[in-house]
Amino acid sequence: MHLRPYRTSRRCKWSGTNASPTSDSNGNCGAVECRRNVFSTIPLNRNVISRKQMSLESDIVERLKSDFDADQFSTALQLLTDSGTTGRVARCIAVAAAGSLDELSLQIGTASTDYRDAILAGEYDDIGMQQIRDLRASFLVDDPLDFWIGELAVFLNSRDFQLVSLESREATAGPFDYTCDRGEGIGTFQRADRTMIISKDNRRWQVIGDAAELQPFQLHIAYDDEDQFRSQLAWMLRRK
């Protein structure tokens, strides 16, 4: 993965403010609200928007159905399907559109130029450019307190699991170095053949289920290390 290079400028090309002592060699003004600060955290993937018509994920279709009036739903669905966007970008477009066909068309056009602008519109607040949602795998991760499940939701989504319910609470055990450290709770994932319930409590990850079924994959115990926990999950999912 690589990031798009930015041209040197004496004025910040994103916020339009004058260069300051905190400016970097690319002319970033250093302001919190500067789009470039946020863009630098979003990898540039030129294949994120397909030229071929692709099916939208079921949760995106349901979101459009709930946000748009019945007489506008078909149009909204066709517009988003024809745009070639899916996954995170399509979710961001749907959230930013907020039930407006005009805004939906605007965000689709924005994404076709630079999809990261659509991600800003869907996941970040308008004032401080702080991320308030994580729409990579689900609409349910819609508050910073829910970010604890984000990476795991992406991992399981790649294996056809969909996050169908999420209960989050303030974490009680630190350190709280990152936003995702602030929350914990229970997430329920489903795919056609099974349901999986994941718990994070006091920084420990565990699958809630039949211990006899989980023991062969060493998932009957809790893990402090999320990466190790995901590795054990991957082992089980490859075998079952």
Give the pLDDT score at 29. Answer: 36
In a domain, 166, yes or no: yes
Say which residue, 48 or 110, is predicted with more confidence. Answer: 110
Distance, in Å, from the CA atom of 156 to the CA atom of 233, rounded to the nearest integer, reads 9
Give the pLDDT score at 4. Answer: 34
- At residue 221, what is the residue type? I
Mean pLDDT of 221-237: 96
Domain match, 109 and 153 both: no
pLDDT digits (tens, 9 = 90+) for 129-157: 899 999 999 999 999 999 999 999 999 99
Question: Which of the four pLDDT bands, split at 50, 70 and 90, describes residue 10?
Answer: very low
Domain match, 100 and 165 both: no
Per the CB < 8 A criterion, the answer to whether 12 and 103 are in contact is no
What average pLDDT is seen over the chain?
83
In a domain, 139, yes or no: no
Give the pLDDT score at 114. Answer: 93
Domain match, 65 and 24 both: no
In a domain, 133, yes or no: no
Domain match, 226 and 148 both: yes
Domain match, 64 and 118 both: yes
Give the pLDDT score at 39. Answer: 54
Percent of all residues in the chain with a pLDDT value above 70, rounded to a whole number: 77
Going edge to edge, which strands form the sheet with 183-191?
162-170, 183-191, 194-201, 204-208
In a domain, 182, yes or no: yes
Domain match, 27 and 98 both: no
Distance, in Å, from the CA atom of 231 to the CA atom of 239, rounded to the nearest integer, reads 13
Domain match, 99 and 148 both: no
pLDDT digits (tens, 9 = 90+) for 165-222: 999 999 988 889 999 999 999 999 999 989 999 999 999 999 999 999 999 999 999 9
Percent of all residues in the chain with a pLDDT value above 90, rounded to a whole number: 72
What residues make up the domain containing 35? Answer: 1-44
In a domain, 76, yes or no: yes
Domain match, 34 and 63 both: no
Per the CB < 8 A criterion, the answer to whether 196 and 188 are in contact is yes
Domain match, 33 and 82 both: no
Mean pLDDT of 41-49: 56
Distance, in Å, from the CA atom of 30 to the CA atom of 57, rounded to the nearest integer, reads 37
Distance, in Å, from the CA atom of 27 to the CA atom of 178, rounded to the nearest integer, reads 27
In a domain, 189, yes or no: yes
In a domain, 128, yes or no: no
Give the pLDDT score at 40. Answer: 54
Distance, in Å, from the CA atom of 54 to the CA atom of 45, rounded to the nearest integer, reads 17
Between 2-6, 94-98, 122-126, the lowest mean confidence (pLDDT) is in 2-6
Give the pLDDT score at 8. Answer: 30
Decide if pLDDT at 14 tops 60.
no
Per the CB < 8 A criterion, the answer to whether 94 and 66 are in contact is no
Total number of domains constituting the chain: 3
Say which residue, 18 or 128, is predicted with more confidence. Answer: 128
Domain match, 35 and 67 both: no
In a domain, 110, yes or no: yes
Domain match, 18 and 82 both: no
